[in-house]
Amino acid sequence: ALDLQNDLVKKYMNEEIYNEMRGLSDAS
């Protein structure tokens, strides 16, 4: 269960980072 939770956190963080990078690209 702990491993699954870690995977979900990683996926969420990756999406947040991707969204931020995409937002910066759109801004520039």
d(CA 12, CA 27): 22
The structural domain count of the chain equals 1
Residue 17 confidence class, pLDDT cut points 50, 70, 90: very high
b vs e for 1-13, b when ≥16 Cβ sit within 10 Å of the residue's Cβ? eeeeeeeeeeeee
Q: Which pTM does this prediction carry? A: 0.48
Residue 1: pLDDT above 80? no
Residue 2 confidence class, pLDDT cut points 50, 70, 90: confident
Predicted pLDDT of residue 28: 66
What domain range includes position 20?
Answer: 1-28
pLDDT above 70 covers a percentage of the chain that reads: 93
Summarize the confidence of residues 13-21 as an average pLDDT: 92
Q: Which residue has the tokens 């996926």?
A: 11
